[in-house]
Amino acid sequence: MRRATIGDVAARAGVSTATVSRVINGGVVSGATAAKVWAAVDGLGYSPNALTKSIFAGRASTIGVVIRDLSSPFYLDLIRGVDEVAAADGSLVMLGNTYRMHDREAAQVRAMDEQRVRGLIVTTGEAADPHARRMAENGTPCVIVSRTVPGMHSISLDNVAAGQLMAAHLTACGRSSVGVITAGDRPAQNERVEGLRRGMPGTVPASAENDAEAAAAVGALLASNPKLDAIACMSSRLTVAVHTALTASGLSIPDDVAFLTMDDFPWAAALGITVVVQPTYEMGRKAAELVVDPVDEPAAVVFEPALAVRTSCGEVSAPDREPADLSPRRTGHTE
């Protein structure tokens, strides 16, 4: 019942543990010995202990990923990018979900550190920063996603451009008065609003933390602004709630009000909802690459958003601006 160790294999094959290790990891061994060892491995069902390997290597071969909210399609695609690079590199991905709870963020990052992950990719709030910074100082490559943090690698979206993309499209569709729903006043959200404002000065913002607040915010926006002809949602998390509130209020999209939001999702095409998409998969790949091929100086990689035009903003009457470039643009280190 006890698990077979390298010692058991060595005893069964009649060799030393050093020889078994050499057979498994490819050192110089004779064919006859190798055959004996493999027979013993199969006979015992031996599987080498990766933990012990890692302790000797000083570091696990696992990449840690701490996600705020797995239910968001954004993170799903990000993970796919990370997975792809990790698989090509032979690393395992250890995923931790924090459900947007501050204490879990800190706990997950600490746990990843104790697991001696080879690198860490975090998409959390500030709660995780102090520990992540210590890890970075200890030589674990750490990448922050969706936020820029001085002195650490970061992967983010050009949020101002995202807002400008929305403004350009809404203007092209003949809209002039936009209500904006943001999820809290986090920097990324504010930058998106800032970008939208640059293109459309008559922007009315409202903030919501959850679905109920979002519905209320939509109602308030509509009530206080009779000439409102568009609603922009800055957080994919609130898309369903805002869209539901809009249709529930009896308005027709896009005839009465245009609607667009952040991040693509499986139903968007079917529902005809225009969205600003982030190159999420690429962002995940880049994050993992910063872990797999460590870079000394902190890199702040900014990606450009693109617009997936569907029908929820109506017809484009004026020519729209060129589609944005999806390739990453390195803007250099931050400090």
CA-to-CA dists, residue 105 to 68, 78, 125, angstroms: 8, 18, 8
The β-bridge partners of 310 are none
Q: Tell me the C-alpha distance between 132 and 143, whole Å.
A: 9
189 interacts with, out of its own copies, DNA, none, CB within 5 to 8 A per kind: none
Sheet (strand 329-330) strand order? 92-97, 62-67, 119-122, 142-145, 153-157, 300-303, 329-330
User: Residue 19 or 278: which CB sits closer to DNA?
Assistant: 19
Q: Tell me the C-alpha distance between 114 and 55, whole Å.
A: 12
Q: Report how many residues bind DNA under the rule CB under 7 A.
A: 28
Site string for its own copies, 184-223 (x = CB under 8 A): ----------------------------------------
- Using CB under 7 A as the binding rule, whether residue 45 contacts DNA is answered as no
Among 255, 266, 315, 327, binds its own copies (CB under 8 A): 266
Contact 44, 5 (CB under 8 A): no
- Taking contact as CB under 7 A, which single stretch among the options 17-25, 157-165, 245-253, 285-293 is the one that binds DNA? 17-25
Write the DSSP assignment of 283-332 as a string of letters.
Answer: HHHHHHHHHHS--SS--EEEE--EEE--STT----SPPPPPPP-S-EE--
Site string for its own copies, 57-96 (x = CB under 8 A): -x-x-x-------xx-x--x--xx--x---x----xxxxx
94 interacts with, out of DNA, its own copies, none, CB within 5 to 8 A per kind: its own copies
Write the DSSP assignment of 117-144 as a string of letters.
Answer: -SEEEE---GGGHHHHHHHHHTT--EEE
User: Residue 42 or 126: which CB sits closer to DNA?
Assistant: 42
- Using CB under 8 A as the binding rule, whether residue 36 contacts its own copies is answered as no
Write the DSSP assignment of 164-188 as a string of letters.
Answer: HHHHHHHHHTT---EEEEESTT-HH
Alpha carbons within 13 A on the beta-carbon side of 186:
17
Closest contact distance (angstroms) between CB of 90 and its own copies is 10
252 interacts with, out of DNA, its own copies, none, CB within 5 to 8 A per kind: none
- Using CB under 8 A as the binding rule, whether residue 243 contacts its own copies is answered as yes
330 interacts with, out of its own copies, DNA, none, CB within 5 to 8 A per kind: none
Closest contact distance (angstroms) between CB of 140 and its own copies is 9
- Using CB under 8 A as the binding rule, whether residue 249 contacts its own copies is answered as no
- Using CB under 7 A as the binding rule, whether residue 110 contacts DNA is answered as no
Q: Tell me the C-alpha distance between 49 and 151, whole Å.
A: 36
Among 39, 42, 43, 55, binds DNA (CB under 7 A): 55
Cβ atoms within 10 Å, residue 87 = 12
Q: Tell me the C-alpha distance between 119 and 292, whole Å.
A: 8
Determine which helix (DSSP H) or strand (DSSP E) holds 215, and give its type and residue range.
helix 211-224
- Taking contact as CB under 7 A, which single stretch among the options 44-52, 128-136, 216-224, 246-254 is the one that binds DNA? 44-52
- Using CB under 8 A as the binding rule, whether residue 25 contacts its own copies is answered as no
Structure tokens at 290: 């910063």
Binding positions for DNA, rule: CB under 7 A: 3, 5-7, 14-22, 24-25, 27-30, 32-33, 48-49, 52-53, 55-56, 58
Binding positions for its own copies, rule: CB under 8 A: 1, 3, 45, 47-52, 54-55, 58, 60, 62, 70-71, 73, 76, 79-80, 83, 87, 92-97, 99, 104, 108, 110-111, 113-116, 134, 137-139, 240, 243-244, 247, 266-267, 269-271
